[in-house]
Amino acid sequence: MDLACYLGEGLAGQGHRECARKCIASGLPVGIRTADRLYLAIGGEHGPANEALAPLAARNVTVEGVVTERDGVHLLTIKKVEVSG
Query: What's this model's pTM, rounded to 2 decimal places?
Result: 0.91
pLDDT digits (tens, 9 = 90+) for 18-72: 999 999 999 999 999 999 999 999 999 889 999 999 999 999 999 999 999 999 9
How many structural domains is the chain composed of? Answer: 1
Integer Cα distance of 3 and 12 in angstroms? 9
Domain of residue 15, residue span: 3-83
Q: What's the gap between Cα 55 and its chain centre?
A: 11
Secondary structure (DSSP) of 2-61 = BHHHHHHH---SGGGHHHHHHHHHTT--BEEE-SS-EEEEE-GGG---HHHHGGGTTS-E
pLDDT at 78: 97
